[in-house]
Chains A and B, each alone.
Chain A
Amino acid sequence: MKCNQDTLIAYYYGELDEETNALIERHMEECMGCSEEFKRLKVLLDKVGVEGRLSSSQKPFSSYLEGVYEKTKKQKIWGLGIPVPRFVPAGIAIAIIAVFITAGVYLKEYREDSLLAQNYEVIQNLEFLQDMEVLQSIEELEMMES
């Protein structure tokens, strides 16, 4: 039999048949590595087993049961049997995205308006210069014609 950590885990949990269990026990008698590995595994998992459990609930049974009945009523109010609260986070996310998009559009418009207001004089001057250029070119044309 080959050394295999997964088999040791399955052995610890009693998930193997009797024949395989006997094979592993024989293997561990001969193989110090597996024997040590199993000891370490057992110590750790036993500790997890003792420490990892939830100590008993402190709420009295009657008030706990009251909470259960309260929830059955609430679920009837929701009606339709649809787990509505599941969609609440998605709804909030969609609302936030919608707010961002709307704010983005308004911000863009606001920026354009404020840019126009800031550069209003420049734009006016540009228009004036354009007019000047037109006049100048008319004058040039007239000169050429004459």
Chain B
Amino acid sequence: MEKESPDNLLIEQFKNGDTRAFEEIVRRYREKACGLAYNLTGSREDAEDISQEAFAIVYRKITAFRGEASFRTWFYRIVVNLCNSHLRRRKWIKMIGFGLGDEDSAVINEISINSNTGDGIISENIKLKKAIDDAVKALPLQQREVFVMRHFHEMKLGEIARCLNCAEGTVKSHLFRAVRNLQERLKDFAD
């Protein structure tokens, strides 16, 4: 008999009404969900909000998880879908004309706060971080999704394909294009 993974065990416990199991799932996946949402939306605040929303969906819809895919794949799919809706909404709001403020300066501020430079001078590392943020953010959505999942979250191509509900070949081609795009955009930092 196949040994049950800890994730599946927690899911089963949660399905039986154990909220401590749910809280353990949140503890386990919080950083990953925030990271994925941040890499896709480029905003820390939105990332936190989206990840909480994703856990709220897990809480409400846990019965819909039948265990055909791994919990991670199912959960990441929820996060990616929420990010897509969020980006669509943001595009609409921008189109209608309610500007969201300068996101680039927000990124710079965020980076400045997180780094302990103290003297206010933007160091090389901050420049690099900003360039990477911009380059990843500038990737077309599908390329960004695949790149972020493969590179930052170390998901295998097959798992990404299941998560995005597309063929593995498509995932591969998005990844290759994303890397080529990044090489082009970050050629100044290649050495």
Flag B155-191 by CB within 8 Å of A: 1 or 0 each: 0110000000000000010011001101100100111
Q: How many inter-chain contacts with C-beta < 8 Å in the A-B complex?
A: 112
Question: Do the beta carbons of B190 and A40 come within 8 Å of each other?
Answer: yes
Answer whether A83 and B26 are a contact pair too, CB < 8 Å, given A51-B129, A51-B132, A64-B52. Answer: no
A15 touches B (CB below 8 Å): yes
Question: Do the beta carbons of B56 and A71 come within 8 Å of each other?
Answer: yes
B74 touches A (CB below 8 Å): no
Distance of B83 from chain A, by nearest CB (Å): 13
- In the bound complex, CA of A47 to CA of B189 (Å): 9
Question: Do the beta carbons of A13 and B150 come within 8 Å of each other?
Answer: yes
- In the bound complex, CA of A96 to CA of B95 (Å): 12
* 19 A-B interface contacts by CB (under 8 A): A9-B176, A15-B157, A45-B179, A47-B132, A48-B132, A48-B182, A51-B125, A52-B136, A52-B152, A53-B35, A54-B38, A54-B47, A59-B48, A61-B27, A64-B52, A68-B55, A71-B52, A72-B56, A86-B88
Which A residues form the contact surface with B (CB < 8 A)? 5-6, 9-10, 13, 15, 40-41, 43-45, 47-49, 51-57, 59, 61, 64-65, 67-69, 71-72, 74-76, 83, 85-86, 88-90, 92-93, 96
